[in-house]
């Protein structure tokens, strides 16, 4: 019995650690899926409108560690693909490289198209694309490519910074 409980606890903790890019911020308190148009998410931003098209194309694509295609994305794979296809820009492949090479953006100056980073398990290991109005798009381990809110219960205390690639 004690071994079974210990095994269940180990599995639960392992699942939490492995789900570093996990989120199910797609649901509001009422349970309705977040649905926004590009105009609502970033009025007047051509960059955001182009990125929104990539989001619409890949929304719901499953999470796949190391993935960079419509078969599956990890968080940085989705960002690099969205930037390459929408903006014809090549970004560094990993979140660590994006943090190193992007221009630092003060949290009060984050604009649509900026890359936002989150500290999971003490490390900067998750990223998404800020779309304006407190929303970002990203590939989560639990829901694939989704839109979430920066001040959502999972993300607000994990936000660690932003970078811009102009």
Which residue in 48, 54, 75, 79 is the catalytic one? 75
Strand order in the sheet with 103-105: 103-105, 159-164, 115-120, 123-132, 135-140, 144-149
- Contact between residue 31 and residue 132 where contact means Cβ atoms under 8 Å apart: no
Q: Which helix (H) or strand (E) holds 161?
A: strand 159-164
Angstrom CA distances, 161 to 46, 100, 108, 155, stand at 23, 12, 10, 12
Q: Catalytic residue at 138?
A: yes
Among 26, 77, 126, 137, the active-site one is 126
Q: 46: how many CB neighbours lie within 10 A of its CB?
A: 12
The yes-or-no answer on residue 106 being catalytic is no
- Of the candidates 47, 135, 138, 163, the residue annotated as catalytic is 138
Active-site residues, by number, are: 75, 126, 138
């Amino acid at each position: 019995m004690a071994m079974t409980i210990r095994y269940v606890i180990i599995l639960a903790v392992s699942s939490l650690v492995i789900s570093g890019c996990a989120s199910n911020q797609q649901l509001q308190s009422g349970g309705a899926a977040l649905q926004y148009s590009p105009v609502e998410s970033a009025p007047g931003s051509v960059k955001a409108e182009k990125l929104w098209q990539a989001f619409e194309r890949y929304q719901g694509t499953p999470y796949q560690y190391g993935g960079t295609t419509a078969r599956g994305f990890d968080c940085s794979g989705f960002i690099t693909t969205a930037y390459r296809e929408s903006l014809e820009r090549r970004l560094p492949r990993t979140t660590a490289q994006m943090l190193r090479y992007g221009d630092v953006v003060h949290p009060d100056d984050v604009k649509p198209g900026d890359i936002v980073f989150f500290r999971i398990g003490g490390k900067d290991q998750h990223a998404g694309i800020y779309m304006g109005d407190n929303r970002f798009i990203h590939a989560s381990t639990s829901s694939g490519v989704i839109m979430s809110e920066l001040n959502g219960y999972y993300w607000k205390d994990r936000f660690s910074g932003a970078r811009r690639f102009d």
